[in-house]
A and B are shown apart, each in its own frame.
Chain A
Amino acid sequence: MTALKIAKDRTLDIKNMEILSKVHAKNLVKWAKDKPEALVLSADLTSSTEIDLFRDAYPDRFISFGVAEQNMMSFAGGLAREGFIPFVHTFAVFIYRRAYDQIAMCIAYPNLPVRMFGFLPGVTTPGGATHQAIEDTSIMRSLPNMTILECGDATDVESVLDAANAINGPVYIRMLRGEIPRLFDKSEPMILGKARILSRGNDITILSSGICTEEAMRAVEALKKHGVSITHLHISTLKPFNDTAVLEALSANKYGVITMENHSIIGGLGTVAAEEMAEAGIPNKLLRIGIKDTYLHGAGREYLMREYGFDAMALIREIEKIVDTSFDITEDDLRRVRFEPINSDAKAEAL
């Protein structure tokens, strides 16, 4: 474990946590300025996927499709074939559910550099089952040539463009919008294929992704005070999954591994970890926290994470069971360190 380098400025100071608004919208305009090959594709969700500023800044590089995602995906394949880099933006469900065949045949099979930004992963929408992408990683992960990234904070959202654009093939991104906390120092961008090491310990290893990382960080801070020693890694590259530091962390723990994801436990981070552990012969126990093979109610994010058991408190309860000790960490304790929930109120269509 000595080889693990702790990310700079990892200390969780919730009171002083910075919350940013429309991070992608502003960042994309800046990032794309000197990249004439970058085109942005929209299926009638332009402000909802934060590409309105791009549209206004570079109207010639913005292509509107109306509500027609299948056409948009094959169209993107045609553009990429001719040397452009399409940045497709819509809600995640309309990418992998609506246009899977088009992605498979027009993008993944010919291995074209199309970047698909899937918004509203898991419970980040109150829109209900039609809008909750709960199995996107599972579906997209099984496509050959596909790289999968997931953002967990504002720094991830800002730096995912460079991470994705380094891949000469298709990339699917579980994207965040609206108000997003900055959990990681701005000077430490997302690095393709590298986990962020947020805590180091010997008892338990936690792998978290997306919005679950913020929850896990809160829980880890509380548990540390009770002497639980935890290694916590934030996973932003879900495929390929070959970071040696992650493999080491899966192996080096006393009680086992916990994965925590805003996704079905079937086919997502938990499954990826299970596959890695089984193939590497790591004989540790694995607990997968996430959406347990069910559709969800339509509701607010905080409520849903509590209701379906993948928030900070759920993680604490599981760890209490594992170490067979009650730490008497109450919801009030956590609430005291809980900042304002991230929500989508800023979005016009309120989905």
Chain B
Amino acid sequence: METIMEVEEIGTKIDELRETARRIRVSIVKMLTNAGSGHTGGSLSAADILTALYFAKMRHDPKNPKWPERDRFILSKGHAAPLLYAVLAECGYFEKSELMTLRKLGSRLQGHPDSKALPCIEISTGSLGQGLSIANGIAIAGRLDSASFRVNVHLGDGEVQEGQVWEAAMSAAHYKLDNLCAILDRNRLQIDGKVEDVMSIEPIADKWRAFGWNVIETDGHDITKLLSAMNEAEKVKGRPTMIIAHTIKGKGVSIFEGKVEYHGIAPTKDELEIALKELEGQRNG
């Protein structure tokens, strides 16, 4: 499935992409409530980012998950697994009915992404701070193989408090990994509270710039802007790109939006009802 879209195309398909993101949010809340545990806020906040990647940016083939030329995606903030599963099911990697097995015994949909269970997951994540290093390794491997694939990695803003992220930031710039694009979900909340209060990461854009990265800041819920940032990243040569996507945690369901307590808990049945009603109201036309 060749999904790369030029800017003109995006205009005509934007409604379709928004609708896809909405359906993905519906899947997320349903599967989380069914599982009874999991990460609501950070799955909803990044739904537009992953929709842009999987439905308009990345080259990938759900019928051939190990297609060597596929663009790679690593969910470094592995706790947003429900989002990744919802996206993969929406793409057709597996049936949407399987989403309801999230966190059940024997399910391929573990609480954090498990590459051994699902071939469409590049590598297991969940221990924060490691995804950018893995992405570095895959990007260098691509260069050594003269392969044309690109490597995308998605990080959380609490996650960048991990020291290893900055080791990887250094090595990506050192090796001029312009086939690597990182996207930061800047939703400003982590388990203990506001990122700013728990451990400030600001000035975050300047930090990445100082580490030698091309930095683009954008609205993480505007798919057109996200795609234009991703296209720009692809054109920049000689350094990796960090897209700082400003988002709202819990985006799409107002009772979860900006609420730190929904970082790591699933919606109750009552909350699910409210959520589904609100998401239904966001349907185009």
Contacts and interface: CB of A to CB of B under 8 A. Distances in A.
A84 B141 contact: yes
Interface size class of B (residues with CB under 8 A): 20 to 34
Given A75-B136, A82-B141, A106-B134, A66 B168 contact: no
Contact of A78 (B137, B164, B174): B137
A57 B106 CA distance: 49
B66 to A, nearest CB: 11
Interface in B107-164: 115-116, 122-127, 129-131, 133-142, 144-145, 163-164
Contacts of A84: 141, 144
Contacts of A66: 170-171, 174
A83 B124 contact: no
Nearest to A84: B141
Contacts of A138: none
Contacts of A70: 129-130, 133, 163-164, 167
A102 B123 CA distance: 12
Interface string A276-295: 00000000000000000000
A79 B131 CA distance: 13
A77 B134 contact: yes
Given A68-B171, A78-B123, A102 B164 contact: yes
Interface in A169-204: none
Nearest to B74: A78
Contact of B164 (A74, A76, A80, A111): A74
Nearest to A63: B140
Contact of A75 (B115, B122, B124, B133): B133
Contacts of B145: 82-83
A341 interface: no
A26 interface: no
A70 B142 CA distance: 21
Contacts of B163: 70
Contacts of A77: 123, 133-134, 137
Contacts of B133: 70-75, 77-78, 102, 106
Query: 9 tightest A-B contacts by CB?
Result: A78-B137, A74-B133, A82-B141, A71-B167, A68-B167, A75-B137, A78-B134, A78-B138, A70-B164
29 contacts: A63-B140, A65-B171, A70-B133, A70-B163, A71-B133, A71-B136, A73-B133, A74-B131, A74-B134, A75-B134, A75-B140, A77-B133, A78-B123, A79-B137, A79-B138, A81-B122, A81-B138, A81-B141, A82-B142, A84-B141, A101-B130, A102-B130, A105-B124, A106-B130, A106-B134, A109-B116, A110-B115, A110-B116, A110-B124
Interface of B: 115-116, 122-127, 129-131, 133-142, 144-145, 163-164, 167-168, 170-171, 174
Given A81-B141, A82-B138, 13 more contacts: A66-B170, A70-B130, A70-B163, A75-B136, A77-B134, A78-B138, A78-B141, A79-B141, A80-B137, A81-B122, A81-B134, A104-B127, A110-B116
